[in-house]
Structure 1
């Protein structure tokens, strides 16, 4: 079993507390992505699993073995870095074979493993080339191949696609997904790109300031964020937020501010009792906003002023001002609007989310 257990792990650098009591269970053959902005502790956590950083406190287990004191070479892991770290004077074959040669594998076994990895990655025709003769995507495949030949218990990926152009990153995401399905090896992947995290991960771990904010399947994080931070980080474009007051009128509950008066759906209103007469943050995703029609109730729509429209072919992204709030809406590509035009936007009530104004936890 190649499950990985991270238990109450801390990392201190002098006075800086980089990782703060992270606990995570990664199941055998699972692909887990750690995502968050620079400085959130994701790479430090990965490097502690790899043995490249010492652990200040807590335990890390690979399989059923605590590896805190084991050197990287004895942890049965393979790591793919952001930079390809290929030896420029060696051929692709020799780059992929180097680690096996250092471990005294015989030539036949090395050839078998390298050729098998080259087949998987579709780089067999490049085995006798030097890295300078390869494209960025091909170099990244070689770096992946160097990890594959190890047949490790766990793959560790430290932002491996960051140096690729946008089109190639999309292609390599697909290739990495196929690779994981084929090899079925436990994988931990670090990225700052939430789209990468959502498309690759079986589960996604959102981190901030050295703490785990939420762990879940991609769709779970998207539909049920635990707090305002996760709601704003997951999804592209990001979720819109507006400061509101919660009011009860008759049997209905409303979220109001000077520019909007939105009726809270019944299933959410039932949880809003402690917030009546108090502030709360309303959240709505750009894709849950649309150009209002006569069918949209007045209490599920609001006025906004168009600042910029971005035509993306399949949709138009509108940057808007609604009172004191900046908002983004994703609307049909046939919509015709002009800068500074006032439009009315309808809301999909199922997309409404509310967050505590003080703790920022989901209500």
Structure 2
């Protein structure tokens, strides 16, 4: 099991203490650093800035995730090959389709047919990195050269020779069709709110993708599954759960449109359908604090390691280690009295 540090995306401003977190991550032997973006901070600038720190030396640098609608495929391919050069081949490019509220409301791009758009996007990036010939593409969503406009576009090839022609691409995905697509065309999958209860469901979706003609990978042996992991050590389990109730209430209840919240669907598949209906009703009616209070401790335990160190280690060994996960992206380096012991148990 590989362990990384997740810096996520910013809230009102840059997160406090990230430099110290990087130092702690280096001391603890964490092997990767991951950033994200929503509709505020971007993922690539912080990753390159923090990734240049001496404390991040040797760490893989991953995005979890870059939103596809934020950049054209060639623009993201350029950014990835640039950062791959600067980091000495440490770039891991996580991408995702996001949701219709952000794609259409923030980026002004159409959302329909996200799986088809993802397939085209990855095809174009890989053509840029291979640099075998000027890039041309004729798809439903992307055309190179552009079909229209001034009519003067010409096929181009990157002036920069990529350090690697096979920069790893991981797909952020939550639904079964998107997870299967990750297994078919990508080098890894980035779940959000993963639960051991859903492991069999996700393994079936991954197997679907691995079994398709032309699949890039055929099994989990060569495929990375990198999931955010929250660890809260506290002798009081309910108190530990309170650290995560706001995030779960926001994602399951307050994000996306009422009819299109993919995070909510994840919790529904875990068996929390009635609960997340209540969370959504509360959150979308302006009662966020009530939604937070309504998140059950057991719901938090489904997606995080919380409680005393002994419980955290036991839950991980019995529930989490047997799953399809291969990389844990920690939301902060554990700093409790048993932090070293917990980290050693995760890596063992």
TM-score when scaled to structure 2? 0.31
More strand per residue: 1
More helix per residue: 2
TM-score when scaled to structure 1? 0.30
* Greater relative CO, 1 or 2 (CA 8 Å, sep 6+): 2
Question: Radius of gyration: which is bigger?
Answer: 1
